[in-house]
Amino acid sequence: HVQLVESGGGSVQVGGSLNLSCAATGMSASSMCMAWIRQVPGKEREGVATIVTGYGGKWYDSSVKGRFTISRDRTKNSIYLQVNSLKMEDSAMYYCAAVTDGSCAAALNAPTYFGFWGQGTQVTVS
Q: What is the pLDDT of residues 12-39, one digit of tens each?
A: 999 999 999 999 999 887 889 999 999 9
Q: Above pLDDT 90, what percent of the chain?
A: 91
Which tens digit of pLDDT belongs to each residue from 42-62? 999 999 999 999 999 999 999
85 CB neighbour count, 10 Å cutoff: 13
Q: For the chain, give the mean pLDDT.
A: 95
- At residue 83, the pLDDT reads 98
Amino acid at 73: D
CA angle 77, 35, 81 (to 5 degrees): 75
